[in-house]
Structure 1
Amino acid sequence: MKELKDIVKAFELAEQRAIRSALATVVYVEGSSYRRAGARMLVTEDGQLTGAISGGCLEGDALRKARLVMVQQKPMLVTYDTTDEDDAKLGVGLGCNGIIHILIEPIDVKAANHPVNLFNIFLSKREPVVLITLFSLNDKQAPQPGTCALLDYNKKLTGAFPDKAIQEALLIDAQDVLKNGNSVTKTYIYEDKYTCFIELLQPEVSLIVIGAGNDAIPLTAMATILGWQVTVIDGRANYVVKERFPNAGKLIVAKPEGALRGIDIDNRTVFVLMTHNYNYDMAMLRQLLPMHLTYIGALGPKKRLNRMLDEIRETDKSIANGDSNNVYGPSGLDIGSENADEIALSIIAEIQAVLKRRNGASLRYKTVVHNRQDEQILQQVLPDTKL
């Protein structure tokens, strides 16, 4: 999300200066790589790079190829193979033991639905969308349509496909991705072979911090670095000020009963209770429990949280034990945190782990960091196809 925002901003600056640009996208990975499919980088003709497609080893070569793409105004599919010694001779030391396929496409500012315009449609709302990128993995010399369409939550399609024959199949798969939440790569075989990266884009995380004490300051700062939306709520007007939380999108002074007015809550919204005021935290927790949120963090000892939950259940019999399964208290991963900065780091890490459905364990104990089996290419043969 943050990468897309940065790319849009960089593109707008380049457009103001009448500087051409190209978009590099990792469309498929075989084996291991630093970035996975969907990683993007904007390249301008004056050599500015925004975003990343690797850990820094591919960017220089991609810049050279992107400049060629801008001149020719023709998309190019580039493959970097770590098993190929020629890559080392060219100065591309990948060191990640995989094959990375990168699509580099010029951005035509005159086109109504060029990639950055599609990004802007996604960024304008807090709704998931599916972005469709077409290329030909089996024939690099074939036309590479590129980032061509976006399907929103209401099934509205923006953009167009180069071949109407595959549109129906593509839209069925895109709707399936939107419903089930998994990006896929498929090869559609119809006369020529099209490979399609059907990518789910999720809205940025919305972090609602209940409490504007000093320990909330590093938490909101770290969330901002990740590109999360940040809202700070507290009943103390002298604490909820821009000077203390310069990067927060919303600052709300309210009592618990009015704290959530005007706040949009969805499955990408997480809360952290940290007012250090027992009654305020409990009043907020009482409102949040029935919402079945993905993550509710509670600062303080486990005993304090259990006491709040017991009191809430005694007065509200509709709240069952299972309603607290999404409450994490004490909030944060066990990394030996002591001061406010370290505690903020542990909370941010726990939220990330919960949203990604990970356990937060050290990577040294994993034999495979990213399971690329989930990203393998699926094939679909369309009607009237000659093989």
Structure 2
Amino acid sequence: MNELQRILQAFEQIQNNGKRAVLATVVRTSGSVYRRPGARMLLTEDGEMTSAISGSCLEADILERSRSLFSTDSDPILVRYDTTSNDDILFGFGLGCNGIVDVLLESLKGAVISQMLFVEDCLMMQQMGAIATIFSIDNVPDVKVGDRLMMKFNAPVINQITNLDVTQRIATDVQKSLIEQQSCVQSYALSTGRIDVLIEVIHPPVPLLIFGAGYDAIPVVQFAKQLGWHVTVIDHRPEQLTRDRFPLADQLLYCIPDPPNAYHHLLTPQTIAIVMTHRYLTDLAFLKTLIPAQLRYLGILGPKRRMQKLWEDLAEHGVNPSSEHMQQLYNPIGLDIGAETPEEIALSIVAEIQAVLSERSGRHLRDRVGSIHSSPELPCLELVS
């Protein structure tokens, strides 16, 4: 279960028991910090915290600053934590990160609840969405901190911003972020003042298909579910494809490998697939369908010499992949971490998939030049009217 899923689960419990709560969101960062914009934490009036926005350094202070929001219908609060000075180590929070973090605190009501329901719908329907949150205002009328605009493809826009000019400018950038699948922070200089906005892309759970219900597939499912992925296990052996073996899987799909009618609809450009049936002819039958499909990642368990034989037999069935298809194919599967046990192999597989999703090499962070984050600053752009 990933962070958003944990927060949504806590949100549902809070709604059911009637507790007061506050949502803390990192909306802007600069320099070296623990979390990026979009990181969230849910706090209740009795001190319960779901997720974290720092390495346990800011949470206690955020809880104290949230007290007024628990007891009244106060307006949202924007809090800045500046750790760029050495004074922070001696007199402050002791983060020693040399960065700046802006955190938006909001009561769990109205606009915030609407946001939570939007995120929940994105995850449930496995659709991408984008949320623009206004977190700072300087002399702009008809705009409030916490106002949001939410957008999905082929769906009505949800808009809480009454200023038409601001709405149009933000909507254009939200649509662009949705198309590019890239979150950002925007600063708009208008004729009367200025507003700052976090535009965050909400990604649906990673769809993972595991072809093969053997013993070594069990830890793969467990690791994948820890990351919040949507996992489907596919096999033609009913005695192996059981809930006792795979209690965490989202779906167990019993089918023969060929024809692919039962699973073909699951093959999309976002799909991650692993073939690990341990049966040569079964792997061959699945791969006849999977290799021509435009998948995001296709991993095949087994040594290179076995894969070479598969290529020869696949060619006889008319399967001759393009260079583009080959870029999505990984064999032997997994990162080189010296894995031997099923659990170690599962870790190497899931780590490799995560590296592919993040467009990273999987090398040591020690050897990386520059920021360890793919978007070091989530750039703040100034748009002048």
Task: Give the TM-score, by structure 2 length.
Answer: 0.92
Query: Given the superposition, is the C-alpha separation of residues 33 and 48 from structure 1 closer, same or farther in structure 2, using an over 3 Å criterion?
Result: same
Query: Given the superposition, is the C-alpha separation of residues 252 and 300 from structure 1 closer, same or farther in structure 2, using an over 3 Å criterion?
Result: same
1:234–1:253 CA contact under 8 A, matched in 2: yes
For 1:91 and 1:258, the matched residues in 2 are separated by 64
Q: Unpaired segments of 5 or more residues in structure 1?
A: 383-387
Find the counterpart in structure 2 of residue 77 from structure 1: 78
For 1:75 and 1:33, the matched residues in 2 are separated by 23
Query: Offset of 1:279 from its aligned partner?
Result: 0.9
Matched, 1:347 2:313: no
Matched residue of 1:290: which SS? coil
- Give the residue type in structure 2 aligned to 1:352: Q
Find the counterpart in structure 2 of residue 295 from structure 1: 297
Identical aligned residues as a percent: 38
Compare 320-329 and 48-57 and name the one that shifted more: 320-329
Matched residue of 1:150: which SS? strand
Query: Offset of 1:78 from its aligned partner?
Result: 0.7
Compare 292-301 and 157-166 and name the one that shifted more: 157-166
Matched residue of 1:43: which SS? strand
Query: Offset of 1:197 from its aligned partner?
Result: 0.9
Find the counterpart in structure 1 of residue 373 from structure 2: 370
Residues 160-202 of structure 1: CA deviation (Å, up to 9, x unaligned) = 2142221111111111111112111111122221111111111
2:291–2:325 CA contact under 8 A, matched in 1: yes
Query: Offset of 1:95 from its aligned partner?
Result: 2.4
Find the counterpart in structure 2 of residue 52 from structure 1: 52
1:131–1:149 CA contact under 8 A, matched in 2: yes
Query: Given the superposition, is the C-alpha separation of residues 154 and 377 from structure 1 closer, same or farther in structure 2, using an over 3 Å criterion?
Result: same
Number of residue-to-residue matches in the alignment = 379
Find the counterpart in structure 1 of residue 246 from structure 2: 245
Find the counterpart in structure 2 of residue 195 from structure 1: 196
Query: Offset of 1:143 from its aligned partner?
Result: 7.5
For 2:29 and 2:2, the matched residues in 1 are separated by 22
Matched residue of 2:25: which SS? strand
Query: Offset of 1:366 from its aligned partner?
Result: 1.6
Query: Given the superposition, is the C-alpha separation of residues 112 and 321 from structure 1 closer, same or farther in structure 2, using an over 3 Å criterion?
Result: closer
Find the counterpart in structure 1 of residue 184 from structure 2: 184
Query: Offset of 1:220 from its aligned partner?
Result: 0.6
Query: Given the superposition, is the C-alpha separation of residues 123 and 195 from structure 1 closer, same or farther in structure 2, using an over 3 Å criterion?
Result: same
1:31–1:372 CA contact under 8 A, matched in 2: no
Find the counterpart in structure 2 of residue 119 from structure 1: 119
Find the counterpart in structure 1 of residue 224 from structure 2: 223
Question: Where does 1:12-27 land on structure 2 (aligned, <5 Å)?
Answer: 12-27=12-27
Find the counterpart in structure 1 of residue 275 from structure 2: 273
Compare 72-81 and 155-164 and name the one that shifted more: 155-164
Compare 115-124 and 292-301 and name the one that shifted more: 115-124
Query: Offset of 1:373 from its aligned partner?
Result: 5.2
Question: Where does 1:32-111 land on structure 2 (aligned, <5 Å)?
Answer: 32-72=32-72, 73-84=74-85, 87-88=88-89, 92-108=93-109
- Give the residue type in structure 2 aligned to 1:282: L
Query: Offset of 1:328 from its aligned partner?
Result: 0.3
Residues 361-382 of structure 1: CA deviation (Å, up to 9, x unaligned) = 0000123212555522100012
Matched residue of 1:257: which SS? coil
Matched residue of 2:266: which SS? coil
For 2:374 and 2:298, the matched residues in 1 are separated by 28
For 2:193 and 2:162, the matched residues in 1 are separated by 12
Task: Give the TM-score, by structure 1 length.
Answer: 0.92
Instruction: Provide the alpha-carbon RMSD of the alignment.
Output: 2.2
Matched residue of 2:150: which SS? strand
- Give the residue type in structure 1 aligned to 2:310: M
Find the counterpart in structure 1 of residue 316 from structure 2: 314
For 2:46 and 2:344, the matched residues in 1 are separated by 40
Query: Offset of 1:18 from its aligned partner?
Result: 1.3
Q: Unpaired segments of 5 or more residues in structure 2?
A: none
Residues 261-290 of structure 1: CA deviation (Å, up to 9, x unaligned) = 255333332011000101111111110112
For 2:184 and 2:169, the matched residues in 1 are separated by 13
Query: Offset of 1:32 from its aligned partner?
Result: 1.1
For 2:144 and 2:84, the matched residues in 1 are separated by 25
Compare 142-151 and 116-125 and name the one that shifted more: 142-151
Query: Given the superposition, is the C-alpha separation of residues 121 and 27 from structure 1 closer, same or farther in structure 2, using an over 3 Å criterion?
Result: same
Residues 317-368 of structure 1: CA deviation (Å, up to 9, x unaligned) = 6643542221101100000001100000000000000011000000001232
2:328 is aligned, of 322, 326, 329, to 326
- Give the residue type in structure 1 aligned to 2:252: L
Find the counterpart in structure 1 of residue 284 from structure 2: 282
1:135–1:143 CA contact under 8 A, matched in 2: no
Residues 10-36 of structure 1: CA deviation (Å, up to 9, x unaligned) = 112112221111111111110111111
- Give the residue type in structure 2 aligned to 1:339: T
- Give the residue type in structure 2 aligned to 1:195: D
Query: Given the superposition, is the C-alpha separation of residues 258 and 90 from structure 1 closer, same or farther in structure 2, using an over 3 Å criterion?
Result: farther
